[in-house]
Amino acid sequence: MTEVVVITIIGTLVGTIGTGLGGLISLFIVKPSSKFLGVLFGITSGLMLSVVAFDLLPEAYNIAGLGTEILGILLGVIVVVFIEKFFPDNKNKKPSSSKSHFFRTGALIGIAIAIHNFPEGLAIGSGYMYTSKMGITMAIIIALHDLPEGLAMAAPLRLSGSSTVKVIFLTVMAGIPTGIGAFIGAVLGSVSNFLIGLCLAFAGGTMLYITCGEMIPDAKSLHSGRASSLGIVVGFIIGIVVSMSL
């Protein structure tokens, strides 16, 4: 039980500090350029692809086998697709320059971050129950991944005229589901290898879908040049280095 509490605390700190730091950094950036945000989203996309390819899915296969791995991936994708029904894509709508528009944009980004922070926490919890090394790897990469997301959320909130305290508070709150996911991942993961493998594959499927379906397209829409694409490659390499060095 003590181990579950520790994992939950780690997951909560990873989520809140990651997005919170992103919000804090935004206070020192007057107006992030689309190229800057595109590169950041590219790097974080590469990081997530790396952790899925070299940590989550291989370990899910080793622990529970191919059938469980495929089941977990499919369940993860189905859950994200289901959630998307409640948060329709507004990318085709003409943007407004009003403060209320910027606040709504920041809030929607925050909701999206909070939703997929849950399976990231699941990856930390279930990964740590398998080996502490894997849990720490998940925590480091996810913390790095949350930082630019916190920045992406905070930028429109700042443009909406929100106070410094409000911006930091909202970005920190978006990281709370990471702790909840870590708790559930640790509890389920301590039951059987099947559940550990299923949790890892579920988180992998969710991250894979969000990265390929949301984050990479967002990076390219923010900046269509080579910089965002190079960011993906750099992020992927960083993910490999972190995974192999721990």
Residue 70, pLDDT > 90, answer yes
Q: What's the pLDDT at 95?
A: 45
pLDDT for residue 196 is more than 80: no
79-106 confidence digits (pLDDT tens): 888 877 775 555 555 444 467 767 877 7
| CB neighbour burial string for 135-156, b if at least 16 within 10 angstroms, e if fewer | bbbbbbbbbbbbbbbbbbbbbb
Confidence class for position 183, pLDDT limits 50, 70, 90: very high
CA-to-CA distance for 137 and 134, rounded, in angstroms?
5
Cα-to-chain-centroid distance, residue 203: 10
Residue 113 dihedral angles phi and psi, to the nearest 5°: -65, -45
Mean pLDDT of 46-74: 89
Q: Report the alpha-carbon distance of residue 11 to residue 118 in Å, rounded.
A: 10
Distance CA 58, CA 63 (A): 9
Q: What is the mean pLDDT of the chain?
A: 82
Task: Give residues with Cβ within 8 angstroms of 154, minimum separation 6.
Answer: 22, 23, 25, 26, 27, 106, 167, 171
Inter-residue contact 10 to 170 (CB < 8 Å): no
Counting every residue written for the chain, the total comes to 246
